[in-house]
Chain A
Amino acid sequence: AQSVTQPDIHITVSEGASLELRCNYSYGATPYLFWYVQSPGQGLQLLLKYFSGDTLVQGIKGFEAEFKRSQSSFNLRKPSVHWSDAAEYFCAVGEGYQKVTFGTGTKLQVIP
């Protein structure tokens, strides 16, 4: 069965610093990979996705992620964090239309 691990429950970074959120997945074939962001009390917004092709994908709000098959990872990065990036981030892996597995999320706190 597929699974997603986000090892960091909570991360704190200073505004302007770089950010990397970790995501590891377990899945036999090439997965569909996603990063979503959720503000408190809101739904999930898609940041970016990887289906195939270039392993470095660009998303909205200046985020990018790199798919590394050898490490089963899909880490999310941003060069310079803004206070408005404070939210919870979810990594997800999709096998089929009904089989999307979500990680448990990483809460990002941004300090001035």
Chain B
Amino acid sequence: DGGITQSPKYLFRKEGQNVTLSCEQNLNHDAMYWYRQDPGQGLRLIYYSQIVNDFQKGDIAEGYSVSREKKESFPLTVTSAQKNPTAFYLCASQQVGGSYDTQYFGPGTRLTVL
């Protein structure tokens, strides 16, 4: 089955710790995205990558970091600098080039800071 997987589904972090959220896709999509979702605020873009070894900050990148060493993988690290990290995190991917395509989403990771 083609799709996007995110792990873990639930993640708990103590204050001051860094945590890494996994996102893997087997859709052969070029672009990948990380969004943060908070109640009543919709989705906000954290980082995106359109090609391996390249990524760009989104609207709320402070306190987060990413890497894109492989086309299939786009892990997100929530650092201790992120002051309010408790949220639902969604990863998405999209084919780039040719006609415009849709973003497809993974099932999400809920991060809770204890």
Task: From the candidates B4, B56, B90, B108, name the one contacting A98 in the complex (CB within 8 A).
Answer: B56
Interface size class of B (residues with CB under 8 A): 20 to 34
Q: Contact flags (1/0) for B36-47 with A, using CB distance below 8 Å?
A: 000011110100
Tell me the dominant secondary structure on chain B's binding face: strand
B50 within 8 A of A: yes
Interface size class of A (residues with CB under 8 A): 20 to 34
Tell me the nearest residue of chain B to A32, going by C-beta: B100
Question: For B50, what are the chain A residues with a Cβ–Cβ distance below 8 Å?
Answer: 97-98
Task: From the candidates A43, A49, A51, name the one contacting B105 in the complex (CB within 8 A).
Answer: A43
B31 within 8 A of A: yes
B-binding segment of A12-20, A65-73, A79-87, A101-109: A101-109
Question: For B88, what are the chain A residues with a Cβ–Cβ distance below 8 Å?
Answer: 41
Tell me the dominant secondary structure on chain A's binding face: strand
Check if A46 sits within 8 Å of B102, measured CB to CB: yes
Check if A44 sits within 8 Å of B105, measured CB to CB: yes
A90 within 8 A of B: yes
Task: From the candidates B42, B100, B104, name the one contacting A51 in the complex (CB within 8 A).
Answer: B100
Give the distance to chain A from B93, nearest Cβ to Cβ, in Å. Answer: 11
Task: From the candidates A34, A41, A51, name the one contacting B108 in the complex (CB within 8 A).
Answer: A41
Question: For B102, what are the chain A residues with a Cβ–Cβ distance below 8 Å?
Answer: 34, 46, 49
Question: For A9, what are the chain B residues with a Cβ–Cβ distance below 8 Å?
Answer: 40
Using known A-B contacts A97-B94, A97-B96, A98-B50, determine if residue A46 contacts B104 with beta carbons closer than 8 Å: yes
Tell me the nearest residue of chain A to B41, going by C-beta: A104
A45 within 8 A of B: yes
Using known A-B contacts A32-B100, A97-B96, A98-B56, determine if residue A43 contacts B107 with beta carbons closer than 8 Å: yes
Using known A-B contacts A32-B100, A49-B102, determine if residue A43 contacts B90 with beta carbons closer than 8 Å: yes
Question: For A41, what are the chain B residues with a Cβ–Cβ distance below 8 Å?
Answer: 88, 108, 110
Q: Contact flags (1/0) for A36-69 with B, using CB distance below 8 Å?
A: 1000011111100101000000000000000000
User: What are 7 sample pairs from A and B whose C-beta atoms fall under 8 A apart?
Assistant: A34-B102, A41-B110, A43-B105, A97-B94, A100-B103, A102-B43, A104-B41
